[in-house]
Copies of this chain bind each other. A is one copy, B any other.
């Protein structure tokens, strides 16, 4: 931590800050300049609140020099986290990128869901996604099928062999959803629902944490830290776009740079959702490819057997026919990435 004193800070103020830091276990080093004094405080003490220091008299600014997340950081763990599922599918590290597809919401028509699942299996996807509990900005929107939706997912999974990803919205629903899902997803709007994160830290199943609509990467990694700190190391991150100054053509600005950044600073896998990340069907293919080539460990996107009549987010869902084309294009690229990875190692 670097404490920058005000230009006119008095000796007494400098001493008081120094003592305060020492009292809290820091090793300090004073740098007196012509214009201002800087106190460098070194230590691995993460429990002090920098805001308390910036409120001391004479302090101009406090700058952190260590990442506030620890377990999610690459410094904590040399090797990338690779999560392996019962059927051998892997996410993370150099494992082949995965594809997670399905409707935004699981709906009453099971046959429709099954059609999507069968096509997904045929096209080489590994996961079936679909919301049974739906967070909706408006109370007038469809709120989800709840347990029935979970049963449909499980049934389609049994028929196809796909793994299941579905969202958990409340602490109370964790046991129920854990029975059916292979990955429990935390939605973007719940990224900082700390009670939920803590509770998910107590289970063993992998958790996929979506980035909040206005979360910085630091806040995103800190949210993952809440889960890890409470005991569950199987966290998958999911970039899904952030709010920006432009929303004429897309719902969000998909932050592709987050992928190489997270791969540099964290060992956790990072998956990308080009459906929510753009809100436009025609952008799924180019943005999915951009994500893959930038290093994403997988893609999650929406496919619906009848998008025009989807109960949510039809505009960003692919029809099954469109999906086949897009999946073909993704598979080709994944094949090349895989080929290059293998070759670069020789």
Contacts and interface: CB of A to CB of B under 8 A. Distances in A.
A51 interface: yes
A260 B245 contact: no
Contact of A245 (B192, B242, B248): B242
A55 B219 CA distance: 26
Interface in A281-324: 281-283, 286-287, 289-291, 293-295, 307-317
B55 A65 contact: no
Interface in A16-73: 20, 27, 29, 31-36, 38, 40, 42-44, 46-47, 49, 51-52, 54-56, 60-61, 63, 65-66, 68-70
Interface of A: 2, 4, 7, 20, 27, 29, 31-36, 38, 40, 42-44, 46-47, 49, 51-52, 54-56, 60-61, 63, 65-66, 68-70, 75, 135-142, 169-172, 189-190, 192-195, 212-214, 216-219, 222-223, 225-226, 229-230, 242-246, 248-250, 253-257, 259-261, 264-265, 277-278, 281-283, 286-287, 289-291, 293-295, 307-317, 333, 336
Given A216-B248, A229-B139, A283 B311 contact: no
Nearest to A317: B55
A31 B35 contact: no
Given A35-B66, A255-B253, A261 B245 contact: no
A279 to B, nearest CB: 8
Contact of A49 (B63, B259, B311, B336): B311
